[in-house]
Amino acid sequence: MVELLQTIIICFTVLGALFLILLALPKSHLRSVFLEICGWAGATTSAVALVSPVDMIPEVVFPLGFVDDLGYLIVGILCAIFAYHQRTHRS
């Protein structure tokens, strides 16, 4: 049982190292796809945080209350632009 667990750990370590090597290559298709997925994930996370009732700075403090919402909006737009650029660059 211990030997099987060691073999599984070694296989996952080798696969993880191979994945990281492919991500490090500048012209890798995997890198472009992974960066696009990360961009869309960032845009989605920002959109969810924007509509979420839980804020880092509550809206009770009027001028500062919308700063975090503005930050979520800006980060979401930038992530979506980055993801779109990754998709068009790959095609």
pLDDT > 90? residue 28: no
Q: What is the mean pLDDT of the chain?
A: 88
| Alpha carbon distances (Å) from 7 to 2, 16, 20 | 9, 14, 20
Which of 85, 87, 77 is closest to 47 using CA atoms? 77
Q: What is the pLDDT of residue 23?
A: 83
The percentage of residues in the chain with a pLDDT greater than 90, rounded to a whole number, is: 44
Higher pLDDT, residue 47 or 61: 47
Q: What is the pLDDT of residue 73?
A: 93
Sign (positive/negative) of CA torsion 22, 33, 43, 55?
A: negative
Distance CA 63, CA 77 (A): 22
